[in-house]
Structure 1
Amino acid sequence: MELARRGLNVVLVSRCDEKLRQVAKEIEGQYGQKTHTIRVDFTHDHIYPFVAEQLQDMEIGILVNNVAMSYSDDFALFLEIPSAEQKITEVINCNTLSVAQTTRLVLPGMLQRRKGLIINISSQVGIHAQPLLALYSATKAFVIYFSQCLHAEYKSKGITVQCVMPFLVSTNMNKMKSSCLVKSARAFAREALNTAGYSSYTSGCLLHAMQSFAFGLLMPDWLRMSSVFVGKLHTTAQQRKAQRGAYKEDYTLEGIEE
């Protein structure tokens, strides 16, 4: 939405037809920009020939790898991940494979034009390892290292690769409401885009940079990774789960933007 507000046409990728139609209609009606929608599910690994076909002959100036999912709305030990065998594959496909494969599709055109911007959305749990979110945290660490390496490889060829590591943002996945400590998605996108071209490694906004610094001081690695702390956190999570009665599973897919 923010890129459309700034005058760019947008390619939207999601698994949800209704969401694609709704966002495309809002962009075209509110900002007058062209849209193209692609319906795919990034939890599968066979989708990329179809995505490549849909993007054929399009000049993608900015790629935003924002697709991500977790495996529950609460903390869980690795072996307690709901439907673990299936979910492990889905999370890795969605959070890491999508970043590498979509970049593979779009980067050649950028190199040909010798200009382009790739924005990869990671998370603070990719920097600060988070027990009880082991798989999600590890996939976000992949995004950080992949982005840094890619930026070093292609910066001299006119390509900027930026990794954005937000703290708390109100999204469909985490169910949080925006507040003085939790950025709304639109507010965060607006501030984060202002850092493009100035920083290849960023929290996205001043609030999140301050929160990341404070989190490192208040919850250092040795404490966050201690078995006592993890045990207490897990017990609390299990109590919340028992009160609700079941896990809820949800994720948001938002893909390529021009």
Structure 2
Amino acid sequence: MRRIKEDIEGLDVGLLVNNAAVNRPGALYVHEADGDRLARMVLVNVMALTEVTAAVLPGMLERGRGAIVNVGSGSTVAVPSFPLYTVYSATKRYVQHLTRCLNVEYKQKGIDVQCQVPFYVHTGMLSPAIKATMRFPAFVATADAYARDAARWIGHGTLCVPDASQQLQWFLAGLVPDAVHDWYRLRQHLKHRAILRPKLM
């Protein structure tokens, strides 16, 4: 954090995108996960995001303008639970709530704070083995396509799902009862666990 503060001193940071995140260990029950890896996940997904945001806010306040985009997750807005990825989805819920509160605090000061919510995107966080189990691969956005859509949505709402196919997923998910979501997600994530467990343990 000291280095970041030194590096941005004197820079006109107009846009901050908090996109760094860790989702491993994933597809595990909490009692199976290594405590140090869980702690690292919380440090990256929660503490680092919070501290970097705090570091750029003084300059934005001084200039009276700026935008902060926090990348959340569909695992916290579209479904009632995300079993076996519990700590990851909990950190993303924090991101969503932090964003809303910061937007209330800073909107009148010329700073827009937004949480963008991707669902599945073809990135290194999504293993090839898990991609192979997906029923609707057309709903998985490419990183480039998602980035283009995400850039267009900056400044348009506190919470948004930039990709059109993922907006449709969000709408359809809202029609499904919570108990069905819970049953389906646990079933799918147990399949993930069977695929990934040898690598994660």
Report the TM-score, using the length of structure 1 for normalisation.
0.69
Partner of 1:125: 75
Which amino acid is the alignment partner of residue 225 of structure 1? Answer: D
Task: Pick closer, same or farther for the CA change 1:238–1:110 going to 2, 3 Å.
Answer: closer
Task: Pick closer, same or farther for the CA change 1:182–1:238 going to 2, 3 Å.
Answer: closer
User: 2 CA distance for matches of 1:234 and 1:192?
Assistant: 27
Q: Which secondary structure state, in structure 1, belongs to the residue aligned with residue 112 of structure 2?
A: strand
Aligned positions, number: 192
Which amino acid is the alignment partner of residue 190 of structure 1? Answer: R
Match of 1:209 among 167, 188, 191: 167
Question: Alignment identity in percent?
Answer: 31
User: 2 CA distance for matches of 1:121 and 1:241?
Assistant: 25
User: 2 CA distance for matches of 1:110 and 1:213?
Assistant: 35
Q: CA deviation at 1:184?
A: 1.0
User: 2 CA distance for matches of 1:190 and 1:101?
Assistant: 27
Which amino acid is the alignment partner of residue 44 of structure 2? Answer: C
Partner of 1:85: 35
User: 1 CA distance for matches of 2:108 and 2:141?
Assistant: 34
Partner of 1:185: 143
Report the TM-score, using the length of structure 2 for normalisation.
0.87
Q: 8 Å contact 2:82–2:185 — kept in the other structure?
A: no
Which amino acid is the alignment partner of residue 224 of structure 1? Answer: H
Match of 2:99 among 134, 143, 147: 147
User: Which 4+ stretches in 1 moved above 6 angstroms?
Assistant: none
Q: CA deviation at 1:95?
A: 0.3
Q: Which secondary structure state, in structure 1, belongs to the residue aligned with residue 153 of structure 2?
A: coil
- What's the Cα RMSD here? 2.1
Which amino acid is the alignment partner of residue 140 of structure 1? Answer: K
After superposition, the C-alpha distances for 1:100-134 in whole angstroms (9 at most, x for unaligned) are 10010001100100000000000011222311111
Between Structure 1 and Structure 2, which shows a larger proportion of helix residues? Answer: 2
User: 1 CA distance for matches of 2:4 and 2:36?
Assistant: 23
Which amino acid is the alignment partner of residue 144 of structure 2? Answer: R
Runs of 5+ in structure 2 lacking a partner? 132-136
Partner of 1:28: none
Runs of 5+ in structure 1 lacking a partner? 1-47, 249-258
Q: CA deviation at 1:149?
A: 0.5
